[in-house]
Amino acid sequence: MKSWGLALLVLVLIQKQGIFQQVEAADGFVKTSGLHFVLNGLPYHANGFNAYWLMYAASDPSQRSKASSAFSEAASHGLTIARTWAFSDGGYRPLQYSPGSYNEQVFQGLDFVISEAGKYGIKLVLSLANNYENFGGKKQYVDWGRSQGQYLTSDDDFFRNSVVKGFYKNHIKTVLTRRNSITGVVYKDDPTIMAWELMNEPRCTSDPSGRTIQAWITEMASYLKSIDGNHLLEAGLEGFYGQASQQKQQYNPNFQVGTDFIENNQIPGIDFATVHSYPDQWFSSSSDEAQLSFLNDWLNNHIQDAQNILRKPLLFTEFGKSSKTSGYSTYQRDMVFKTVYSAIYSSARSGGAAVGGLFWQLLTEGMDSFRDGYEIVLSESPSTANVISQESHKLYMLRRMYARLRNVQKWKRARAIRRAQWLNRNKGKNTGN
């Protein structure tokens, strides 16, 4: 009875929202339709993970098995989206040595990651730059600008200086037009890639008005879309409300970073919204109960805003609970995961804007140097792995429900067409006695 009740609810939503009215060709690219992701004509809800390290590990042939193991273990737990870095600027074993100069070995590592993800049926969200110094980030771009004679006073000049912006645009073009050395497919034509991300957690604290970030996202979204019309694009935002949404700033942690969840995601080139959730960092001195209460409100406020204001899908692209926090227990981490997953599924099953969540971060065995407190090694964390698998299964069953109902609609349409054809053929004929 429970499944029939859900089927009836989904059917009502289909009729109300017209989800199946425009059935996409089965080309494997994830698209958007109103509040939803759509894959091969069906609403697409997915459970996923972050693994920023995939390209770095795969660029060393002796470590490539780590990437393969991660995808294999993820797939066995029903995870179908991975978010990872498509950047490494300057420093040790970089992707980009200097502006326009690339490391072929590391690029081949990214080729391998995309190829392996495709084998396991996992879609990728590829981030193109970092706000922070890790793997270079905007600081490295600004340093490159200075080395070419630009007078730059802040790392935030990454968002303003035309020369630096030119470096970044070149990186966008180089990555998007890369031909995979393993599959032979150009990245911008590869359906394994679900979406591009402009930057991991863009912040411009030197301009709290938000105008700088707004202009930068607008410019870069337009540029990227001029090269690639196949893939979705998101900005990489954490979800903070800025000065353009003053009435909503009460829902923020107590700081501003020059971004605005509403205004930034209303930019036409941005296809879906993102949110990061770290109450254990933002309210480290608060109780677990207080952190969970904030998390619940944070999730639901953004779901409602994506649904009612943005009218775009919402993907929770980072969340987790650090084992390095005082008094940590696996139970506390599982409660964070359950809170996020519950909000996503509740929205998804009612036709809302939440389309999935990606926890931070997945590691495989033997990667101790990558541990940051948030790591999930599925073989070492049976209770958390079970929570993850349950969410994957629930979203999978929701997709199956949509598939069955679409088949019913197809059958009804075919029957109506056949009946109309029969009536047309027999029009005017005496079918009575």
Read out DSSP for 38-73? EETTEE--EEEEE-TTHHHHHTSGGGHHHHHHHHHH
- Phi, psi for residue 194 in degrees, rounded to 5: -85, -40
Q: State the Cα angle at 260 between 258 and 263, rounded to 5°.
A: 130
- What gap in Å lies between CA 73 and CA 67, rounded to an integer? 10
The residue type found at 163 is V
Of the candidates 27, 48, 49, 51, the residue with the CA atom closest to the CA atom of residue 38: 27
- Contact call for residues 67 and 115 (beta carbons, < 8 A): no
Of the candidates 61, 54, 48, the residue with the CA atom closest to the CA atom of residue 85: 54
Please give the positions annotated as active site. Answer: 201, 318
- What gap in Å lies between CA 190 and CA 114, rounded to an integer? 9
SS3 content of the chain, % helix, strand, coil (to 5): 50, 15, 35
**DSSP-derived 3-state class of residue 236:** coil
Q: State the Cα angle at 106 between 156 and 319, rounded to 5°.
A: 55
- What gap in Å lies between CA 258 and CA 110, rounded to an integer? 31
Q: Which residues contact 129 (CB under 8 A, 6 or more apart)?
A: 87, 89, 137, 138, 141, 168, 171, 198, 199, 200
DSSP code for 119: H
- What gap in Å lies between CA 265 and CA 315, rounded to an integer? 12
Other CB atoms within 10 Å distance of the CB of residue 367: 18
